[in-house]
Chains A and B, each alone.
Chain A
Amino acid sequence: MAQSYQHHSNKWIASEFVTGVVFLVCGCAIYLFSRSKSLNIYQWCSALGWSNTIDALRHRVHDWNILEFVKFSLPDGLYCAAYILMIDSIWHDDRRFVKYIVILLVPLVTISSEILQYFGLVRGTFDVYDLICYTIPPIIYFIYIFKFNN
Protein backbone atom coordinates (compact mmCIF):
# COMPACT_ATOMS: atom_id res chain seq x y z
CA MET A 1 0.00 0.00 0.00
CA ALA A 2 2.91 2.31 0.70
CA GLN A 3 3.77 2.57 -2.97
CA SER A 4 0.29 2.57 -4.32
CA TYR A 5 0.06 6.29 -4.83
CA GLN A 6 2.85 6.72 -7.40
CA HIS A 7 2.05 3.53 -9.20
CA HIS A 8 -1.62 3.93 -9.88
CA SER A 9 -2.72 2.43 -13.15
CA ASN A 10 -3.99 4.54 -16.00
CA LYS A 11 -7.42 3.20 -15.21
CA TRP A 12 -7.17 4.55 -11.65
CA ILE A 13 -5.96 7.93 -12.89
CA ALA A 14 -8.77 8.14 -15.45
CA SER A 15 -11.26 7.17 -12.74
CA GLU A 16 -9.92 9.92 -10.50
CA PHE A 17 -10.28 12.51 -13.25
CA VAL A 18 -13.78 11.32 -14.18
CA THR A 19 -14.81 11.41 -10.50
CA GLY A 20 -13.65 15.02 -10.43
CA VAL A 21 -15.74 15.80 -13.50
CA VAL A 22 -18.76 14.06 -11.93
CA PHE A 23 -18.37 16.10 -8.72
CA LEU A 24 -18.16 19.28 -10.79
CA VAL A 25 -21.25 18.36 -12.81
CA CYS A 26 -23.16 17.51 -9.60
CA GLY A 27 -22.22 20.87 -8.08
CA CYS A 28 -23.32 22.69 -11.23
CA ALA A 29 -26.57 20.70 -11.31
CA ILE A 30 -27.40 21.74 -7.73
CA TYR A 31 -26.81 25.36 -8.71
CA LEU A 32 -28.84 25.11 -11.89
CA PHE A 33 -31.83 23.25 -10.50
CA SER A 34 -32.25 24.63 -7.01
CA ARG A 35 -30.76 28.11 -6.94
CA SER A 36 -31.71 31.53 -8.21
CA LYS A 37 -31.93 32.08 -11.93
CA SER A 38 -29.93 35.27 -11.51
CA LEU A 39 -26.73 33.28 -11.05
CA ASN A 40 -24.36 33.56 -13.97
CA ILE A 41 -24.35 29.81 -14.60
CA TYR A 42 -28.06 29.94 -15.47
CA GLN A 43 -27.58 32.97 -17.68
CA TRP A 44 -24.79 31.24 -19.56
CA CYS A 45 -26.80 28.04 -20.03
CA SER A 46 -29.71 30.14 -21.29
CA ALA A 47 -27.40 31.77 -23.78
CA LEU A 48 -26.53 28.28 -25.01
CA GLY A 49 -30.24 27.59 -25.54
CA TRP A 50 -30.61 25.12 -22.66
CA SER A 51 -33.10 27.14 -20.63
CA ASN A 52 -36.17 25.07 -21.60
CA THR A 53 -34.52 21.84 -20.52
CA ILE A 54 -33.21 23.39 -17.33
CA ASP A 55 -36.58 24.96 -16.51
CA ALA A 56 -38.29 21.60 -16.97
CA LEU A 57 -35.85 20.02 -14.55
CA ARG A 58 -36.20 22.95 -12.12
CA HIS A 59 -39.94 22.31 -12.04
CA ARG A 60 -39.31 18.64 -11.31
CA VAL A 61 -37.15 19.40 -8.28
CA HIS A 62 -39.27 22.33 -7.12
CA ASP A 63 -41.33 20.35 -4.64
CA TRP A 64 -38.40 18.45 -3.24
CA ASN A 65 -37.55 19.57 0.25
CA ILE A 66 -33.83 20.02 -0.36
CA LEU A 67 -31.75 20.77 2.72
CA GLU A 68 -30.25 24.25 2.87
CA PHE A 69 -26.87 22.59 3.35
CA VAL A 70 -27.22 20.70 0.07
CA LYS A 71 -28.36 23.79 -1.82
CA PHE A 72 -25.91 26.29 -0.45
CA SER A 73 -22.82 24.52 0.94
CA LEU A 74 -22.43 21.10 -0.67
CA PRO A 75 -21.66 22.55 -4.14
CA ASP A 76 -18.70 24.36 -2.54
CA GLY A 77 -17.29 21.07 -1.28
CA LEU A 78 -17.92 19.32 -4.59
CA TYR A 79 -16.22 22.19 -6.45
CA CYS A 80 -13.16 21.99 -4.23
CA ALA A 81 -12.99 18.19 -4.30
CA ALA A 82 -13.39 18.15 -8.09
CA TYR A 83 -10.44 20.49 -8.52
CA ILE A 84 -8.20 18.42 -6.24
CA LEU A 85 -9.11 15.16 -7.98
CA MET A 86 -8.59 16.56 -11.46
CA ILE A 87 -5.27 18.23 -10.70
CA ASP A 88 -4.03 15.19 -8.77
CA SER A 89 -4.84 12.94 -11.71
CA ILE A 90 -2.97 15.27 -14.09
CA TRP A 91 0.06 15.46 -11.76
CA HIS A 92 -0.14 11.83 -10.68
CA ASP A 93 3.49 11.01 -11.54
CA ASP A 94 4.94 14.15 -10.01
CA ARG A 95 6.08 14.30 -6.39
CA ARG A 96 7.58 17.77 -6.44
CA PHE A 97 6.41 20.31 -3.90
CA VAL A 98 4.98 22.50 -6.67
CA LYS A 99 2.29 19.87 -7.24
CA TYR A 100 0.87 20.50 -3.78
CA ILE A 101 0.98 24.25 -4.30
CA VAL A 102 -1.03 23.83 -7.51
CA ILE A 103 -3.46 21.49 -5.74
CA LEU A 104 -3.90 23.90 -2.85
CA LEU A 105 -4.43 26.93 -5.07
CA VAL A 106 -8.21 26.75 -5.44
CA PRO A 107 -8.90 25.54 -1.87
CA LEU A 108 -6.77 28.39 -0.50
CA VAL A 109 -8.49 31.00 -2.67
CA THR A 110 -11.95 29.79 -1.69
CA ILE A 111 -11.12 29.42 2.02
CA SER A 112 -9.47 32.86 2.03
CA SER A 113 -12.48 34.35 0.31
CA GLU A 114 -14.79 32.88 2.93
CA ILE A 115 -12.61 34.09 5.83
CA LEU A 116 -12.35 37.56 4.29
CA GLN A 117 -16.14 37.62 4.12
CA TYR A 118 -16.18 37.11 7.89
CA PHE A 119 -14.08 40.24 8.34
CA GLY A 120 -16.12 42.17 5.78
CA LEU A 121 -13.18 42.53 3.40
CA VAL A 122 -14.96 40.65 0.60
CA ARG A 123 -18.60 41.14 -0.28
CA GLY A 124 -20.83 38.33 0.90
CA THR A 125 -21.94 36.65 4.07
CA PHE A 126 -19.66 34.33 5.97
CA ASP A 127 -21.08 30.84 6.35
CA VAL A 128 -19.29 28.35 8.54
CA TYR A 129 -20.74 25.42 6.57
CA ASP A 130 -19.27 26.85 3.35
CA LEU A 131 -15.91 27.10 5.11
CA ILE A 132 -16.17 23.50 6.35
CA CYS A 133 -17.05 22.28 2.86
CA TYR A 134 -14.08 24.11 1.35
CA THR A 135 -11.74 22.75 4.03
CA ILE A 136 -12.70 19.07 4.12
CA PRO A 137 -11.50 18.01 0.61
CA PRO A 138 -7.88 19.23 1.03
CA ILE A 139 -7.75 17.73 4.54
CA ILE A 140 -8.92 14.35 3.24
CA TYR A 141 -6.49 14.60 0.33
CA PHE A 142 -3.48 15.31 2.53
CA ILE A 143 -4.44 12.62 5.03
CA TYR A 144 -4.51 10.23 2.08
CA ILE A 145 -1.13 11.48 0.84
CA PHE A 146 0.54 11.20 4.25
CA LYS A 147 -0.96 7.79 4.88
CA PHE A 148 -0.02 6.17 1.59
CA ASN A 149 3.16 8.00 0.61
CA ASN A 150 5.08 8.05 3.88
Chain B
Amino acid sequence: MKKYFLTMTVMALFAIGFAASDEDESTNGSSSSSEQTELEQKPSFLGTYEVTDKVGQTMLLTLNADETGTATIKGESVTYYCSWRDDSDIGRGLLIDFPSGVGERPNLVYEGGTDEFGTVGCYLKDGWFYSGSDNVKSNNPRWRLKATKIK
Protein backbone atom coordinates (compact mmCIF):
# COMPACT_ATOMS: atom_id res chain seq x y z
CA MET B 1 0.00 0.00 0.00
CA LYS B 2 2.84 2.31 0.93
CA LYS B 3 4.46 1.57 -2.42
CA TYR B 4 1.37 2.63 -4.37
CA PHE B 5 1.00 5.76 -2.32
CA LEU B 6 4.64 6.70 -2.97
CA THR B 7 4.23 5.89 -6.66
CA MET B 8 1.19 8.11 -6.96
CA THR B 9 3.02 10.88 -5.11
CA VAL B 10 6.01 10.66 -7.46
CA MET B 11 3.72 10.59 -10.50
CA ALA B 12 1.87 13.66 -9.22
CA LEU B 13 5.22 15.37 -8.66
CA PHE B 14 6.30 14.65 -12.22
CA ALA B 15 2.94 15.74 -13.62
CA ILE B 16 3.45 19.04 -11.80
CA GLY B 17 7.01 19.10 -13.19
CA PHE B 18 5.66 18.70 -16.71
CA ALA B 19 3.31 21.62 -16.11
CA ALA B 20 6.12 23.64 -14.54
CA SER B 21 8.07 23.61 -17.78
CA ASP B 22 5.12 25.15 -19.56
CA GLU B 23 4.55 28.82 -20.21
CA ASP B 24 2.45 30.91 -17.90
CA GLU B 25 0.16 31.95 -20.75
CA SER B 26 0.50 28.96 -22.98
CA THR B 27 -0.45 25.31 -23.12
CA ASN B 28 2.71 24.37 -24.96
CA GLY B 29 4.69 21.47 -23.46
CA SER B 30 7.91 22.38 -25.27
CA SER B 31 9.34 25.28 -23.39
CA SER B 32 12.14 26.02 -25.83
CA SER B 33 9.67 26.53 -28.63
CA SER B 34 7.24 28.47 -26.45
CA GLU B 35 10.05 30.87 -25.58
CA GLN B 36 10.46 31.42 -29.30
CA THR B 37 6.76 32.24 -29.41
CA GLU B 38 7.31 34.72 -26.60
CA LEU B 39 9.90 36.52 -28.70
CA GLU B 40 7.57 36.52 -31.68
CA GLN B 41 5.01 38.29 -29.50
CA LYS B 42 7.43 41.13 -28.69
CA PRO B 43 8.51 42.50 -32.04
CA SER B 44 8.34 46.15 -31.01
CA PHE B 45 12.08 46.48 -30.50
CA LEU B 46 12.88 45.17 -33.97
CA GLY B 47 13.97 47.76 -36.50
CA THR B 48 16.79 50.25 -36.99
CA TYR B 49 18.37 52.39 -34.30
CA GLU B 50 20.64 55.40 -34.67
CA VAL B 51 23.38 55.75 -32.08
CA THR B 52 25.75 58.72 -32.10
CA ASP B 53 28.89 58.48 -29.99
CA LYS B 54 30.97 61.14 -28.23
CA VAL B 55 33.16 61.86 -31.27
CA GLY B 56 30.26 62.19 -33.70
CA GLN B 57 30.28 58.73 -35.26
CA THR B 58 26.75 57.57 -36.05
CA MET B 59 26.00 53.88 -35.94
CA LEU B 60 22.94 52.40 -37.63
CA LEU B 61 21.97 49.21 -35.84
CA THR B 62 19.33 46.99 -37.41
CA LEU B 63 17.72 44.15 -35.45
CA ASN B 64 15.91 41.45 -37.41
CA ALA B 65 13.18 39.05 -36.32
CA ASP B 66 15.46 36.02 -36.69
CA GLU B 67 17.66 37.28 -33.81
CA THR B 68 20.35 38.57 -36.16
CA GLY B 69 21.40 42.13 -36.72
CA THR B 70 23.82 44.38 -38.57
CA ALA B 71 25.58 47.60 -37.71
CA THR B 72 27.21 50.18 -39.94
CA ILE B 73 28.90 53.50 -39.28
CA LYS B 74 27.58 56.30 -41.46
CA GLY B 75 30.15 57.18 -44.08
CA GLU B 76 31.91 53.82 -43.84
CA SER B 77 31.38 50.76 -46.01
CA VAL B 78 32.05 48.07 -43.39
CA THR B 79 29.10 46.03 -42.12
CA TYR B 80 29.36 44.46 -38.68
CA TYR B 81 27.25 41.41 -37.92
CA CYS B 82 25.64 40.61 -34.58
CA SER B 83 22.91 38.61 -32.93
CA TRP B 84 20.50 39.73 -30.24
CA ARG B 85 18.89 38.10 -27.23
CA ASP B 86 16.14 39.43 -24.99
CA ASP B 87 17.58 39.69 -21.47
CA SER B 88 14.92 42.06 -20.22
CA ASP B 89 13.79 39.49 -17.67
CA ILE B 90 17.07 39.99 -15.81
CA GLY B 91 17.10 43.77 -16.13
CA ARG B 92 19.51 44.08 -19.03
CA GLY B 93 17.27 44.81 -22.01
CA LEU B 94 18.49 43.39 -25.31
CA LEU B 95 21.94 41.85 -25.52
CA ILE B 96 23.55 42.87 -28.81
CA ASP B 97 26.20 40.24 -29.30
CA PHE B 98 29.04 41.10 -31.68
CA PRO B 99 31.91 38.64 -32.15
CA SER B 100 34.80 39.37 -29.79
CA GLY B 101 37.95 40.88 -31.21
CA VAL B 102 39.41 43.98 -32.81
CA GLY B 103 37.45 45.13 -35.85
CA GLU B 104 34.45 42.88 -35.20
CA ARG B 105 32.24 45.71 -33.95
CA PRO B 106 31.93 49.46 -34.40
CA ASN B 107 34.49 51.14 -32.17
CA LEU B 108 32.17 53.59 -30.44
CA VAL B 109 33.48 56.19 -28.02
CA TYR B 110 31.66 56.61 -24.72
CA GLU B 111 32.20 59.19 -22.03
CA GLY B 112 33.98 56.43 -20.10
CA GLY B 113 36.22 55.43 -23.02
CA THR B 114 36.10 52.77 -25.72
CA ASP B 115 35.91 49.02 -25.90
CA GLU B 116 38.23 48.68 -28.85
CA PHE B 117 38.96 45.01 -28.14
CA GLY B 118 35.28 44.08 -28.08
CA THR B 119 35.49 42.19 -24.82
CA VAL B 120 32.18 43.16 -23.24
CA GLY B 121 28.60 42.75 -24.35
CA CYS B 122 26.54 45.60 -25.78
CA TYR B 123 23.01 46.19 -24.61
CA LEU B 124 19.99 48.16 -25.77
CA LYS B 125 17.75 49.24 -22.93
CA ASP B 126 15.23 52.05 -22.44
CA GLY B 127 16.51 54.02 -25.43
CA TRP B 128 20.19 53.69 -24.53
CA PHE B 129 23.00 51.67 -26.05
CA TYR B 130 25.28 50.40 -23.27
CA SER B 131 28.70 48.79 -23.22
CA GLY B 132 29.04 46.09 -20.56
CA SER B 133 26.52 44.11 -18.53
CA ASP B 134 27.42 45.82 -15.25
CA ASN B 135 26.93 49.20 -16.89
CA VAL B 136 23.50 48.37 -18.24
CA LYS B 137 22.46 46.89 -14.92
CA SER B 138 23.50 50.05 -13.09
CA ASN B 139 22.30 52.45 -15.86
CA ASN B 140 25.84 53.87 -15.89
CA PRO B 141 25.66 57.19 -17.82
CA ARG B 142 29.40 57.09 -18.58
CA TRP B 143 29.04 53.93 -20.69
CA ARG B 144 25.88 54.59 -22.64
CA LEU B 145 24.85 56.43 -25.80
CA LYS B 146 21.39 57.60 -26.80
CA ALA B 147 19.75 55.13 -29.19
CA THR B 148 16.92 56.49 -31.33
CA LYS B 149 14.65 54.12 -33.20
CA ILE B 150 14.35 55.50 -36.70
CA LYS B 151 12.29 52.76 -38.37
Identify the A interface with B (CB < 8 A): 24, 27-28, 31, 35-41, 43-44, 55, 58-59, 62-63, 72, 75, 79, 82-83, 86-87, 90-91, 94, 102, 105-106, 109-110, 113-114, 117, 122-125, 127, 130
Chain B, interface SS category = helix
Is B19 an interface residue, CB under 8 A from the partner?
Answer: yes
Given that A62-B87, A62-B90, A90-B3 are contacting pairs, would A40 and B133 also be in contact in the complex, using a CB cutoff of 8 Å? no
Given that A36-B89, A44-B20 are contacting pairs, would A125 and B36 also be in contact in the complex, using a CB cutoff of 8 Å? yes
B36 partner residues in chain A, CB cutoff 8 A: 125
Residue of B nearest to A91 (CB): B3
Query: Contact between B14 and A124 (Cβ–Cβ < 8 Å)?
Result: no
CB distance from B17 to the nearest CB of A (A): 6
Is B22 an interface residue, CB under 8 A from the partner?
Answer: yes
Q: How many residues of B contact A (CB 8 A)?
A: 35
Query: Contact between A24 and B21 (Cβ–Cβ < 8 Å)?
Result: no
Which single member of A72, A87, A123 contacts B29 (CB below 8 Å)?
Answer: A123
Distance A24 CA – B23 CA, assembled complex (angstroms): 19
- 19 contacts across the A-B interface (CB closer than 8 A): A35-B31, A35-B35, A36-B23, A36-B89, A37-B89, A38-B25, A40-B22, A40-B23, A62-B90, A75-B21, A83-B10, A87-B7, A87-B10, A90-B10, A102-B7, A114-B30, A124-B29, A124-B33, A130-B30
- Residues 29-43 of chain B: 1 if any A CB is under 8 Å from the residue's CB, otherwise 0? 111111110100000
Distance A62 CA – B17 CA, assembled complex (angstroms): 24
Query: Contact between A38 and B23 (Cβ–Cβ < 8 Å)?
Result: yes
Query: Contact between B90 and A58 (Cβ–Cβ < 8 Å)?
Result: yes
Given that A79-B14, A124-B29 are contacting pairs, would A59 and B20 also be in contact in the complex, using a CB cutoff of 8 Å? no
Query: Contact between A125 and B3 (Cβ–Cβ < 8 Å)?
Result: no
Distance A28 CA – B19 CA, assembled complex (angstroms): 12
Query: Contact between B6 and A125 (Cβ–Cβ < 8 Å)?
Result: no
Distance A63 CA – B3 CA, assembled complex (angstroms): 44
Distance A43 CA – B20 CA, assembled complex (angstroms): 9
Given that A79-B17, A87-B10, A90-B6 are contacting pairs, would A39 and B30 also be in contact in the complex, using a CB cutoff of 8 Å? no
A72 partner residues in chain B, CB cutoff 8 A: 31-32
Is B24 an interface residue, CB under 8 A from the partner?
Answer: yes
Is B11 an interface residue, CB under 8 A from the partner?
Answer: yes
Query: Contact between B14 and A38 (Cβ–Cβ < 8 Å)?
Result: no
Is B144 an interface residue, CB under 8 A from the partner?
Answer: no
Is B92 an interface residue, CB under 8 A from the partner?
Answer: yes
Distance A110 CA – B29 CA, assembled complex (angstroms): 9
Is B138 an interface residue, CB under 8 A from the partner?
Answer: no
Distance A82 CA – B16 CA, assembled complex (angstroms): 14
